């Protein structure tokens, strides 16, 4: 019963486990050079389906209210203008987290009299908003991890991109900045920033990191994003959030007995233990794979054998590594085994 409550089956309710309070004062940060402008997307394929993703599943993701500004109907009318101007032959789908009752209700009222748009109220269980899973839930179609959904006539847009396409493409205003969520245990406070494109991570973090605290920085989150050490890196439109985690090198005593107290750590040493056959990784996998099976094939030196068990379906969400009480680097192992096929 506890597993269902915590969301161990097919995903994890990160928003419930790690609720974040965010400062509601939005900090404006400018670039030290001429800011870049948003590049309006050019589509080489016919777009048949447009999914608007209003279902963030990670606590460090940008909240919907930042873009909607509590004016949901205005945003829906923007979508309607986008549809008429650029995608007149496409069907639209609003994927909205079920926790935002008011937004869901207003969306259904809006879509009730329209035949070009449908509303889906979804659980915010991570990684429900992954393109592979979102496409399956909304359209019933199968796409592989890493495939460009536009090749199938499917376009997935977040609300900030929708808003910017309208502002630049229809209103004819140059857009050279974007909103980012800035959060993590290594910061003084969690906040939303409005930053010009081309601004360095170093400038963004200035005076925001806790003093005398070793930290690590992740672009687009610690699960699906990447760690960076070069803080001169510039912000572009692909950056949605920055997570700064305090570095911790201490060990947890018998973590397998405290699985209900899961926390994000950035431990580099002293955590790896033997597999305890708990099957947490198998239960939590959102695409029904068996990470433990891959692990045991890997440690036996049978990397190619591991690839026989549908490993290509892995969406690299990182939940298997996150949930493992022995801190085994399951995602890293899977990515290594998957890479074998790319060189054959």
Q: Does the pLDDT value for residue 21 go beyond 70?
A: yes
231 shares a domain with 274:
no
Q: Considering its fold, how many domains does the chain have in total?
A: 3
Last residue of a domain, one of 217, 246, 275: 246
In a domain, 123, yes or no: yes
Do 272 and 235 sit in the same domain of this protein? no
Helix then strand then coil, in percent of the chain rounded to 5, is 35, 20, 50
State residue 322 phi and psi, 5-degree precision: -60, -40
> Based on the domain organization, do 150 and 193 belong to the same domain?
no
198 and 267 part of one domain:
no
CA distances from 145 to 135, 141, 157 (A): 11, 13, 17
* CATH code (residue 234): 3.10.20.600
Assigned domain for 41 exists: no
**Residues constituting the chain:** 344
Q: Rounded distance, CA 344 to CA 340, Å?
A: 7
What pLDDT band is residue 272 in, cutting at 50, 70 and 90?
low
CATH number at residue 165: 3.40.50.11540
Determine the pLDDT at residue 23: 85
Same-domain pairing of 225 and 163 = no
Locate tokens 């801190």: which residue? Answer: 327
Residue carrying structure tokens 């070069």: 230
137, 170, 203: which is the final residue of a domain? 170
Q: What is the pLDDT of residue 229?
A: 96
Tokens of 131: 């393109």
290: alpha, beta or left, given left = phi > 0 and alpha = psi -120 to 50? beta
With 80 as the cut, is the pLDDT of residue 14 above it? yes
Residues 185 and 106 in one domain: no
Residue 4 located in a structural domain: no
Q: Is 69 left (phi over 0), alpha (psi -120 to 50) or beta?
A: left
What percentage of the chain reaches a pLDDT higher than 90?
67
- H helix or E strand, kind and range, residue 241: strand 241-246
226 three-class SS: strand
Bridge partner residues of 218 (DSSP): 227, 243
Domain shared by 233 and 264, yes or no:
no
Name the domain boundary from 126, 149, 170: 170
Does the structure show a pLDDT above 50 at 269?
no
> Is position 75 within any domain?
yes
Residues 93 and 199 in one domain: no
Is the confidence at residue 260, as pLDDT, over 60?
no
- Cα 83 to the chain's mean position, in Å? 25
Nearest CA among 111, 124, 102, 104 for reference residue 7: 124
Is residue 3 a part of any domain in this protein? Answer: no
Please tell me the distance from the alpha carbon of residue 184 to that of residue 191, in angstroms, as a whole number. 10
Whether residue 122 lies inside any domain: the answer is yes
Half-sphere CA count of 304, side-chain side, radius 13 A:
3
Percent of the chain residues past pLDDT 70, beyond the cut: 88
Range of the domain at 254: 250-343
Model pLDDT for residues 169-190, shown as the tens digit of each residue: 999 999 999 999 999 999 999 9
The pLDDT tens digits for 60-101 are 999 999 999 889 999 999 999 999 999 999 999 999 999 999
Residue 261 sits in the same domain as residue 313: yes
């Amino acid at each position: 019963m506890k597993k269902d409550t915590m969301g161990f089956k097919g995903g994890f309710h990160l928003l419930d486990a790690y609720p974040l309070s965010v400062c509601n004062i939005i900090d404006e940060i400018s670039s030290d050079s001429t800011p870049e402008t948003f590049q309006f997307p050019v589509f080489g394929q016919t777009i048949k389906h447009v999914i608007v993703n209003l279902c963030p599943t990670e606590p460090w993701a940008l909240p919907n209210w930042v873009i909607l500004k509590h004016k949901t109907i205005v945003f829906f009318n923007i979508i309607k203008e986008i549809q008429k101007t650029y995608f007149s032959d496409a069907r639209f789908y609003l994927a909205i987290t079920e926790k935002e009752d008011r937004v869901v209700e207003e969306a259904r009222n809006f879509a009730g009299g329209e035949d070009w748009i449908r509303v889906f109220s979804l659980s915010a269980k991570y990684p429900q908003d992954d393109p592979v899973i979102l496409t399956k839930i909304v359209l019933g179609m199968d796409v592989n991890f890493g495939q460009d959904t536009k090749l199938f006539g499917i376009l997935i847009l977040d609300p900030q991109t929708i808003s910017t396409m309208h502002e630049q493409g229809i209103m004819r205003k140059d857009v050279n900045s974007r909103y980012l969520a800035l959060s993590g245990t290594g910061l003084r406070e969690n906040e939303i920033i409005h930053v010009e494109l081309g601004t360095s991570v170093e400038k963004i973090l200035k005076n925001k990191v806790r003093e005398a605290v070793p930290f690590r920085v992740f672009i687009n989150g610690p699960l699906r994003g990447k760690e960076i050490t070069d803080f001169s890196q510039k912000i572009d439109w692909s950056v949605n959030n920055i997570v700064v985690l305090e570095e911790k090198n201490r060990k947890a005593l018998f973590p397998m007995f405290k699985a209900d107290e899961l926390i994000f750590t950035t431990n580099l040493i002293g955590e790896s233990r033997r597999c305890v056959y708990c099957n947490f990784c198998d239960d939590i996998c959102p695409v029904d794979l068996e990470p433990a099976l891959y692990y045991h094939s890997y440690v036996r030196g049978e990397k190619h054998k591991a690839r026989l068990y549908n490993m290509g379906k892995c969406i690299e969400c990182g939940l298997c590594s996150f949930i493992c009480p022995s801190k085994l680097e399951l995602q890293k192992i899977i990515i290594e085994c998957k890479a074998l096929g790319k060189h054959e």
